[in-house]
Amino acid sequence: MIVVKAGGNGNIDVAAVCGDVAELVDGGEPVVLVHGGSHETTRLSTELGHPPRFVTSTSGHTSRFTDRQTLEIFTMAVAGRVNKLLVERLQALGINALGLCGLDGRLLEGKRKSALRIREGDKVKVLRGEYSGIIERVNVGLLKTLLDGGYVPVVAPLAISYKSEGLNVDGDRVAAAIATALRADHVVILSNVPGLLRDMADESSLVTHVSVDEAEEYLHRYARGRMKRKVLGAVEALRDGVGQVIIADGRVQRPIRRALAGEGTVIAARR
């Protein structure tokens, strides 16, 4: 079982990712494909006259303020365009892909964070009307039904709250939650960097093979911004039974194959 997360920041190379997924599935390997869509959401919200607003929380974490209108645009972008382009490509390769998001069949359920405490200059403000959250439950039965039926699930990063509201959730955490629920052997996280770098300005400073304990240490030492969430998600998934997490370059040809061959930051559970 392999869970693949294709990044949303750079443009996903749909052809490269889907080519590799198709090859794995044809070889008998069950795959779940998770994707992002922040780039597409920013583009669409600007076009629709509701430009994105990025805020910094009091703990220093930057995120998109997801008001109701942004949630709906986010849904159009990720569960609409990004998801369906991946499904279309996989179908063209003869793979029976099925696109869904965490709202569908309550695939990903979690708690809504409806207010954000943010810092603006030296002021602290509370922003209400936020639609984001943390995933707490995965409908693993639904995923197994799809996989057993021969479908390849393609998952967009939306969850459902306990009050049945749509939530914007982080794609890396979606991949980690699904991988944990399915006890996946491998999680491949494709991004716009070769993996975890010791020095952001130097792509040859790549951290290659590490244990989960070392990864936790490196997380604090080297990871900044969004890379923190990737490594943190990896550490959590590995502690919960996932075999191996590989953070790798999504900008290359054959990105999943190369990641599985060990190119990137390979984080292994102690076994």
The residue ranges that bind ligand ADP (CB under 6 A) are 7-10, 36, 38, 191-193, 196-197, 200, 222-227
CB 195 within 8 A of CB 207: yes
Q: Which residues pair with 72 in a beta bridge?
A: none
Q: How far is the CB of 39 from ligand ADP (least distance, A)?
A: 7
Q: Measure the CA–CA gap between 44 and 66, rounded to whole angstroms.
A: 14
Choice between 159 and 248, CB closer to ligand ADP: 248
Q: Coil, strand or helix: which one is 74?
A: helix
Q: How far is the CB of 177 from ligand ADP (least distance, A)?
A: 15
Task: Produce one character per residue of 101-133: b if its CB has 16 or more CB atoms within 10 Å, e if not.
Answer: bbbbeebbbbebbbebebeeeeeeeebeebbbb
**Residue 132: its H or E element:** strand 123-138
**Residue 139 burial (CB count, 10 A):** 17
Choice between 10 and 129, CB closer to ligand ADP: 10
Q: How far is the CB of 149 from ligand ADP (least distance, A)?
A: 29
Choice between 7 and 166, CB closer to ligand ADP: 7
**DSSP secondary structure letter of residue 185:** S
Choice between 8 and 99, CB closer to ligand ADP: 8
Choice between 146 and 188, CB closer to ligand ADP: 188
Q: How far is the CB of 221 from ligand ADP (least distance, A)?
A: 9
Return the residue nearest ligand ADP (CB atom). Answer: 7
How far does Cα 28 stand from its chain's mean position? 24
Q: How far is the CB of 72 from ligand ADP (least distance, A)?
A: 21
Q: Measure the CA–CA gap between 263 and 256, rounded to whole angstroms.
A: 9
CB 187 within 8 A of CB 176: yes
Choice between 192 and 253, CB closer to ligand ADP: 192
Q: How far is the CB of 251 from ligand ADP (least distance, A)?
A: 10
